[in-house]
Amino acid sequence: MEISTELEKRCDALIAQYPRKRSAAMMIMHAIQEVHGYFDDDAIRYAARKLEVEPIEVYGMLSFYPMYSSEPRGRIHIKVCRTLSCAMLGSIKLAHEISKKIGCPIGSTKGVYTLEFVECLGNCARGPSVQVNDKLFDKVAPEDAEKFVEKLGAMDAAGELASQSTDSAPAGGGDFNSPSYRGEVMAVVENRIIYEHIGLGDWNTSIEKYMSAGGYGVLRDTVKRPRQDLCAEMEKSKIKGRGGAGFPTGMKWKFLDRKSGKPIYLVCNADESEPGTCKDRQIIYEDPHKLIEGIMCTAYAIDAAQAFIYIRGEYINGYRILVEAISEARRMGFVGAGVCGSGYSCDITVCRGAGCYVCGEETGLISSLAGGRAYPRIKPPYFPAVMGLYDCPTVVNNVETLCWVPIVFSRGGDSVSKIGNPADPGTHIWGVSGLVQKPGCYEINSGEATLGELLYDLCGGPLAGRRFKAVIPGGSSMKILKWDEKFILKNPDGSSREIRTEDIPLDAPSFQACGTAVGSCGVIVMDNTVDMVEALANLNQFYAHESCGQCTPCREGTLWMSRITRRISEGWGREEDVELLANIADNICGRTICALGEGAAWPTQSNVGKFREEYYEKIRRQQTVGGQARCDNNAYRLI
């Protein structure tokens, strides 16, 4: 492998953005792969030399993150999302159709093509999603596979699929430009605060546009205010983190160890990778300055020495948009030295992930950003607020959460705390995907609508001739709800009432009272055509693929569960598998290093628990027919 001076320069520039050399690992590996195509021994040794690490450490990362490859890939690299929301819309069949058309088996490279299944692309509301090189394609129906392949051929011939090696944002906001999504907004219950600019006809990502809408005004005021007041406002607002765990943001800031004398870091978690979740993508792709203003307000409030955005690797144009937007903001004095003319300086570095769900876990993200395998860290001692990035005090906040910060600073914590349900104030952006008429992202005041209103009024109800069967309310890790389930909810006056799933108010306490959680508000909708065993098999495969493998229960348990559900799906279920599945999930839950252990166990626990009879029926049916007929190839398959 020949190292061009251009690559050398690019690597050096990347390294310069990080306080520690090896922190540039993710980006340098992307840069090398972009130029060289894949990693051979030379490329690994080059990366190791640049990062001053051992080759085994580079190889450890290379083999951990699926976006890096140790083999050459085709010029047209087709990645079909196989995770639940896309799978329910036919992505499994789509991949097989594409495979037939291009003559390339799934998971292999043939000629100019590489075809593979990938886990959730974060485009759940517009599936089936296919990413080809850097381009994302929405709603590629399996019936259109032939047309799709022809289109790819034409685009390839026209050079439109070539990977863009420049770090600038393509005009018009990149690949998130589907008009089908825009405008389908029923203003009746939507209250667009975070999404105020999303979907506006004349909106674009330029800083001029953002400033003409009053953007960066809050930052200008913020840097004149005492930090204590700002943190107090955040605490008063009672805004909870929007990443999934729902931890109060003000409290998170309060836990920061400010006495250590070490620099404080702010990390924006833009690794949106919970299946069913695609809310942050819109902010990044369409309103990047809103996020940047949020980051800078937060950075000032917590006195961060440097801010990072860790964006998932699949959001490649999102990365370019952010880099461009940050350089605009830097030019205007909002980022970098002397923010808004104040004495406070802080820069933002954007780091790309490379296909790893565990990077959404804040300590896993920190491990990845520090330049390693994304292993979550044990707590104690590695509480981010005390021992975070480089073992320094660190705040990790989600994209949507950070966008709340300027709103809290300008409107005041008290005022924000009165939006929606006071126990969970603010709005939630519900990313609805799966089998509904109008999937999409809907921003609604907390608790001011019900799940039924969201799914029927905003999303148009079930597909023609179908009935809702089940809903996963907060991203695939949250416990599933049967559509005909009944719950007891407490009224504010202390009395209680019985409600059905569709009556659940859209806020955190209500879902919690129903035995599940709002998580990242990614609502995955399943109707009566969905085989629940197949749905679980699909998710179990996701967790087995995404388990980082650090701690025993999740490493071994997720693959075991996946192998069992796949075996049942293939026609070889045993009745004892049902209880075994539930027991394996119980043995993972609560015994892992990070919370994703629970996240991997809850789907099985709830799905098996609530649809137990469906499992037994399926298995008994398989046993009755026997032989090859056990596996009904025409049946609804999700893996």
Partner 1 sequence: MEEKQRVNINVNGGEYSVEAGQNVLEACRGIGVEIPYFCYHPSLKVAGSCRMCLVSIGMPARDRATGALLKNEDGTAQIAWAPKLSIACGTKVAEGMHIVTDSDAVKSCRQSVLEFLLLNHPLDCPICDKAGECKLQEYTHAYGRENSRYVERKNVKPKHVDVMGKIMLDSERCIECSRCIRFCEEFIGRSIFGFVKRGSRTEIAVYPGGDNDSNYLLNVVDGCPVGALTEKAFRFKMRPWFLKVTDGICAESSAGVNTRVWSRNGEIYRVTPRRNDEVNGMFMSDSGRYVHLRFNDANRLRQPRIDSTSCDLGYAVSRCMEILKLGKVAIVANGWQTLEEMFVLGELSKACGAEVYMVSHLGEDDGKLVSADRTPNMRGAFVTGLLKDYPPADLSLLAQKIDSGEIATVLCLRENLMGLGLTPGHFKAAHIIYCGSLENPTSASAKICIPLRSEFEKEGMWINRQWRVQKFSKAVDAPDGIADDSRFLLSLLGEYTSSSWSDTSVRSIREAMVSRITMLSGCADVGPNGVLIDSSSFAGIEFPEGKAYHFKGQE
Nearest to 487 by CA among 505, 461, 469: 505
Strands of 271-359 (E only): list them.
Answer: 306-311, 347-352
567 is an interface residue for partner 1 by CB under 8 A: yes
Between 361 and 546, name the residue whose CB sits nearer to partner 1.
Answer: 546
593 is an interface residue for partner 1 by CB under 8 A: yes
Site for partner 1 in 372-411 (CB under 8 A): 373, 378, 380-381
Angle between helices 279-286 and 399-411 in degrees, nearest 10? 70
Among 18, 39, 46, 59, binds partner 1 (CB under 8 A): 59
Nearest to 129 by CA among 79, 164, 93: 79
Side chain identity at 570, as an amino acid letter?
E
Among 3, 17, 55, 332, binds partner 1 (CB under 8 A): 55
CB of 268 to partner 1, least distance (A): 24
CB of 544 to partner 1, least distance (A): 6
Between 291 and 589, name the residue whose CB sits nearer to partner 1.
Answer: 589
> Applying CB under 8 A, which part among 138-146, 222-230, 529-537, 589-597 lies near partner 1?
589-597
- The pair of three-digit structure tokens given for residue 313, joined into one six-digit string: 């690797």
Nearest to 606 by CA among 528, 515, 523: 515
555 is an interface residue for partner 1 by CB under 8 A: yes
φ and ψ at 193, to 5 degrees? -105, -60
Contacts made by residues 63-67, CB under 8 angstroms, sequence distance 24+: 64/356, 64/373, 64/374, 64/548, 65/26, 65/29, 65/313, 65/353, 65/354, 65/355, 65/356, 65/374, 66/118, 66/354, 66/355, 66/356, 67/30, 67/313, 67/314, 67/353, 67/354, 67/355
546 is an interface residue for partner 1 by CB under 8 A: yes
CB of 56 to partner 1, least distance (A): 4
120 is an interface residue for partner 1 by CB under 8 A: no
Among 64, 176, 319, 611, binds partner 1 (CB under 8 A): 64
> Applying CB under 8 A, which part among 52-60, 99-107, 110-118, 138-146 lies near partner 1?
52-60
Residue 488 gets the label, from left (phi > 0), alpha (psi -120 to 50) or beta, of beta
CB of 377 to partner 1, least distance (A): 9
553 is an interface residue for partner 1 by CB under 8 A: yes
Strand partners, 265: 306, 394
CB of 391 to partner 1, least distance (A): 12
- The whole-angstrom separation of Cα 553 and Cα 536 is 19
φ and ψ at 153, to 5 degrees? -60, -45
Between 127 and 275, name the residue whose CB sits nearer to partner 1.
Answer: 275
456 is an interface residue for partner 1 by CB under 8 A: no
Residues 6+ apart with CB under 8 A from 85: 120, 124, 125, 127, 275, 276, 433, 434, 524
CB of 446 to partner 1, least distance (A): 26
255 is an interface residue for partner 1 by CB under 8 A: no
CB of 559 to partner 1, least distance (A): 4
Between 58 and 471, name the residue whose CB sits nearer to partner 1.
Answer: 58
Between 127 and 246, name the residue whose CB sits nearer to partner 1.
Answer: 246
Among 418, 559, 612, 614, binds partner 1 (CB under 8 A): 559
What secondary structure letter does DSSP report for 104? Answer: -
551 is an interface residue for partner 1 by CB under 8 A: yes
- The pair of three-digit structure tokens given for residue 565, joined into one six-digit string: 């559900």
Between 83 and 547, name the residue whose CB sits nearer to partner 1.
Answer: 547
Between 226 and 380, name the residue whose CB sits nearer to partner 1.
Answer: 380
536 is an interface residue for partner 1 by CB under 8 A: no
Helix (H) or strand (E) holding 428: strand 427-434
548 is an interface residue for partner 1 by CB under 8 A: yes
560 is an interface residue for partner 1 by CB under 8 A: yes
Between 133 and 562, name the residue whose CB sits nearer to partner 1.
Answer: 562
547 is an interface residue for partner 1 by CB under 8 A: yes
- How many residues of this chain interact with partner 1, rule: CB under 8 A? 41
Sheet holding 113-118, edge to edge: 108-110, 113-118, 76-81, 130-132, 135-137
> Applying CB under 8 A, which part among 248-256, 285-293, 532-540, 590-598 lies near partner 1?
590-598
Nearest to 595 by CA among 511, 478, 501: 478
- The whole-angstrom separation of Cα 98 and Cα 147 is 10
CB of 52 to partner 1, least distance (A): 11
Between 334 and 542, name the residue whose CB sits nearer to partner 1.
Answer: 542
Nearest to 592 by CA among 558, 636, 567: 558
Side chain identity at 200, as an amino acid letter?
L
552 is an interface residue for partner 1 by CB under 8 A: yes
**Helix (H, G, I), strand (E, B), or coil: what is residue 474?**
coil
Between 592 and 607, name the residue whose CB sits nearer to partner 1.
Answer: 592
477 is an interface residue for partner 1 by CB under 8 A: no
Between 193 and 245, name the residue whose CB sits nearer to partner 1.
Answer: 245
Q: What is the CB neighbour count within 10 angstroms for residue 60?
A: 14
CB of 59 to partner 1, least distance (A): 6
∠ at Cα 120 (293, 479), nearest 5°? Answer: 95
CB of 356 to partner 1, least distance (A): 8
53 is an interface residue for partner 1 by CB under 8 A: yes
Q: Pairing mode, if any, of strands 265-270 and 306-311?
A: parallel
Strand partners, 483: none
The residues binding partner 1 (CB under 8 A) are: 41, 44, 53-57, 59-60, 63-64, 373, 378, 380-381, 544-553, 555-560, 563-564, 567, 574, 580, 587, 590-593
